[in-house]
Amino acid sequence: MKEFLSTKAKGICFLLFLAFLWEIVSRNKLISPLYFPPISKDLVAFYQLMLDGTLPLEVIRSLGRIFGGFFLAVVVMIPLGILMGLFKPIYNLFEPLTELLRPLPPPAIIPVVMLFLGIGEAMKILVIAFACSFPILINTMDGVRSVEPTLVDTAKTFGRNRYEVILQVILPASLHQIFTGWRVALPIALIVDIIAEMVGALNGIGRFILLMQRRFDIPEMYAGIFLVAIVGYALNALLRYLNRTLIGWHKAKFEAVI
């Protein structure tokens, strides 16, 4: 615990040093304060926008889209990943399509989706779901394939049918890998949401940042960026907490081996 707090303290001190350096560089005009205002001004703008509810409202709208797309990907890709990991014919059927679409950058499909769905909520949720799909799918499939065959054979010996083996053995044993896919996918969802909102949205934190840049309200623009960074950190911390809470036995097993 002391080592953990010490590590956190070092990280916080480094962030404070970077903030101090930002302030000094801007105050001494080593970089134009017009484009790089002192961080103190940015933080004042952040405080004011949080206090009047502007930033909280925008980020709530964005989080609705992020979680909508993320959970759509989870609902579709976890079952598909389990099936692809278990059954070779299903893997052979979907593998070419997966490998064809997986390298495709999610922003590249935004114009196509906009043609069919416009700039409404469905467009952004669908693009986010596409971006989250492949990290979730690949990690779920790899998690299923990494399950020890001995566990499956033992379950069958005790009379478990195929459905029970999947639900009681394979899925729990794959949870750590599935959570890894979630941790990869959720930051991607945040990034893609910001891009989608900048391309075509009437609200959201991405739209807010772009609008402030166009208005040349630079401290307000940085305030929006700060909030995006905080949200990204919080989402990652949430998944790490859920990982420790729900499947902490994976970590315990790993530490025992080490």
- If asked whether residues 23 and 85 sit together in one domain, one would say no
Question: Sorting pLDDT into bands at 50, 70 and 90, what band is 10?
Answer: confident
Range 34-42 average pLDDT? 90
Lowest mean pLDDT among 43-47, 50-54, 96-100, 113-117: 113-117
Q: Is the pLDDT of residue 179 over 80?
A: yes
- If asked whether residues 126 and 143 sit together in one domain, one would say yes
Q: Is 204 left (phi over 0), alpha (psi -120 to 50) or beta?
A: left
- If asked whether residues 232 and 124 sit together in one domain, one would say yes
Lowest mean pLDDT among 59-73, 174-188, 210-224: 174-188
Range 222-248 average pLDDT? 87
Tokens of 157: 């010996």
pLDDT at 246: 73
- If asked whether residues 147 and 216 sit together in one domain, one would say yes
pLDDT digit string (tens) for 184-228?
Answer: 999 999 999 999 999 888 889 999 999 999 999 999 999 999 999
Look at the chain and report how many structural domains it folds into.
2
- If asked whether residues 4 and 60 sit together in one domain, one would say no
CA pair distance 249, 99, nearest whole angstrom: 33
Average pLDDT, the chain: 86
- If asked whether residues 114 and 147 sit together in one domain, one would say yes
Q: Is 128 exposed, middle or buried (0-12, 13-18, 19+ CB in 10 A)?
A: buried
**Cβ proximity of 58 and 121 under 8 Å:** no
- If asked whether residues 163 and 49 sit together in one domain, one would say yes
Per the structure, the complete domain to which residue 85 belongs is given by 40-257
- If asked whether residues 16 and 101 sit together in one domain, one would say no
CATH code of residue 123:
1.10.3720.10
- If asked whether residues 88 and 178 sit together in one domain, one would say yes
Q: Is the pLDDT of residue 5 over 70?
A: no
* 237: Cβ contacts below 8 Å, ≥ 6 apart: none
- If asked whether residues 24 and 46 sit together in one domain, one would say no
- If asked whether residues 15 and 97 sit together in one domain, one would say no
pLDDT digit string (tens) for 80-133?
Answer: 999 998 889 999 999 999 999 988 888 888 888 888 888 888 889 999 999 999
* pTM of the entire predicted model: 0.84
- If asked whether residues 6 and 84 sit together in one domain, one would say no
Which residue is it, tokens 């166009």?
Answer: 214
pLDDT at 256: 39
CA pair distance 82, 199, nearest whole angstrom: 35
